[in-house]
Structure 1
Amino acid sequence: MKQTDHRTPYVPCRCATHAHPYGAAARQGTPFDRSGIAFDVDLWRRVFRVLKPGAYCLAFGATRTVHRLACAIEDAGFEIRRQIDWIRADAMPHGTDAAVAA
């Protein structure tokens, strides 16, 4: 499934946005997230290659696997400067019955 076509023409870009399979559902037997493409350093090197100097990359990751994503991006040559966390206020813990906890 890994593509190794390095003949992609160089067209400099100002930003890259990447919403890949998060890799979180692999525990549950879902084959969609098993590709590991988000953690492939070669993919991020190719993204880095087509970006202009000073461009940015916005990549989304799951809570349990975002550290692997950040390491792959950093190993490809990017500098990690900021991380934005989305914390859902309406999420309930899975092991708690709301009627009993109240």
Structure 2
Amino acid sequence: MTGGRSALLRRVLQLEGRQTVRQDSEGQPERRALMAEVEAVLSALPDVLRRDVEARGARGVAALIEATWEAGHTGEVSPELTLSAYRAAFGTVAE
């Protein structure tokens, strides 16, 4: 992941007033693990979806994080599950 995307992920995770990432009692290890999952999913996404996430900035990455978190509860994190959750948040993805 590029430095810009990593910085954007960190900024989203630090937003005040919004719990983007649920923390366990230790907090930081879970946050790092989730960021790694999000980075892996983002890098595996089709180009059109990755561009859409990046164009939406923090909102797009926050939606991607939420989709990844929810998919993680099922034991699966995949571009298909993420795309489904992302479309639910934003409607269709621009081609």
Shorter-normalised TM range: under 0.3
The TM-score normalised by the length of structure 2 is 0.24
Indicate the structure with greater strand content: 1
Larger radius of gyration: 1
The TM-score normalised by the length of structure 1 is 0.23
